Amino acid sequence: MADEIKSAMHEVPGCKAQEPPAELLSRVSSLASIGRRPLSREQYVEGILAGERATLARAITLIESTRDADRMLAEQIIEDCLPHSGNSIRLGITGVPGAGKSCLIESLGIYLIEEQQQKVAVLAIDPSSQISGGSILGDKTRMTQLAASDNAFIRPTPSRGSLGGVARRTREAMLLCEAAGYRSIIVETIGVGQSETAVHGMVDFFLLVLLAGAGDELQGIKRGVMEMADLVLINKADGDNIRAAERARHDAQNALHYLPASASGWMPRAQCCSAHSGSGISELWQAVLEYAALARTNGWFEDLRRSQTLSWMHEIIEQGLLHLFDANAEVMKSKHQLEKEVIEGRTTSFRAARRLLEIYSEQRPAAADDAER
Ligand SMILES: Nc1nc2c(ncn2[C@@H]2O[C@H](COP(=O)(O)OP(=O)(O)O)[C@@H](O)[C@H]2O)c(=O)[nH]1
Ligand SMILES: [Mg+2]
């Protein structure tokens, strides 16, 4: 921009570019930085509890940061927000790419805002974005109406790190969204690898979006994913596709019957919907509400959240230990050599792993002694 102005001025003969006064420059730069002024822990928390989207977004950026200082501040913010979180319904949505998840979230989100007077947060877990650099970003174009609403908060997937790391950041972002007053949290995943399991481990209700197709509609969907579903939705039940969708719904309902009963006491169902026409969207929400009412009455809702919280703790310990292991200089010194020996068949993977763990545990007491001294 500044270069454009400069070059335009150079084209005017006799016009000499002048340096703006230093005082003006400093005023402009302080004006520009107002939005990014560092906030204190209290300012972050106050802003989030007041439902300020910009502050919420900045706090999530801290969660995603790899800087230790940011991480520490993020943890303090989460701690302060924790007593205000939890009051929501957490929905997970999975399905093959192209099934219409993003369009469905747009349609459901608008329904929740307009018909149920709710605030809706949309988060995403997309491990493939590690390679593509944030493929879910494109999805905002499928959620234009929702993205424009003051009552919606859409956050693309954090694109760095392992699935465990991505999942942890999404869970933490979810807690902050709840503290900011979002009563419906929707987490979108793509049906790849472990991401369904990660999302299932952080939501109350799990939705599987399928398409009516030629042949076996359930092909390509692993049995495990079907087992996790509380609701199977056959999307794109519109136009010429309505009858095929109804057949697919029937097949899915049959398949659900053969699965073991869910511990929640809920009977998973299959329903049709169209993200484009909006048919079946209120029925979808009705099923979520029915589930929540049942699970709250029989105690499952709280039991599930408690066990999820416990597994998060265990996951954080595992990740933390791995981090310590990788950061240990003695371990790293021997790791490369041992890896080479495993590849060349000179030792077994079991013995090499055991040796590294021994090196690691020999290091720990020494490190603790150092700290005491
Ligand atoms: N006919 C029809 N097309 C849909 C519907 N929902 C989504 N689509 C289309 O399906 C394609 C994939 O949708 P998208 O939401 O990006 O799928 P995702 O990959 O599962 O998130 C897009 O071209 C959508 O316009 C629907 O209800 N009916
Ligand atoms: Mg999508």
Question: For residues 290 and 256, what is the distance between their CA atoms, to the nearest angstrom?
Answer: 18
- Residue owning the nearest CA to atom 28 of ligand 1: 236
pLDDT in tens, 205-226: 999 999 887 445 555 566 778 8
Inform me whether the pLDDT recorded for 363 exceeds 70. Answer: yes
Query: Is pLDDT of 346 > 70?
Result: yes
- pLDDT tens track for 98-144: 889 989 999 999 999 999 999 999 997 765 554 444 444 445 667 88
At residue 25, the pLDDT reads 46
Domains of the chain by start residue, with CATH: 33-83 (1.20.5.170), 85-298 (3.40.50.300), 328-372 (no CATH)
- Measure the CA angle with vertex 266, ends 261 and 271; round to 5°: 100
Is the model more confident about 53 or about 373?
A: 53
**192 has pLDDT over 60:** no
Q: Which residue is listed with tokens 């924790």?
A: 82
Looking at the whole model, is its pTM more than 0.85? no
Flag whether pLDDT at 269 surpasses 50: yes
pLDDT digits (tens, 9 = 90+) for 176-191: 999 999 999 999 886 5
Q: Which residue has the higher pLDDT, 162 or 232?
A: 232
Q: Ligand 1 atom 17: the closest Cα is on which residue?
A: 100
Distance CA 207, CA 350 (A): 40
Query: Which whole number is the average pLDDT over 342-369?
Result: 85
Please state, rounded to an integer, the average pLDDT across all residues of the chain. 83
Q: What pLDDT, on the 0 to 100 scale, is given for residue 90?
A: 97
Instruction: Name which residue sits closest to atom 7 of ligand 1, judged by CA.
Output: 100
pLDDT score of 64:
86
Answer whether 235 contacts ligand 1 (Cβ < 6 A): yes
Span from the CA of 100 to the centroid of ligand 1 (angstroms): 3
∠131-92-198 over CA atoms, to 5°?
Answer: 55
138 lines ligand 1 (CB under 6 A): no
CB 175 within 8 A of CB 78: yes
10 falls in which pLDDT band (50, 70, 90)?
Answer: very low
With a 6 Å cutoff on the Cβ, whether 96 touches ligand 1 is: no
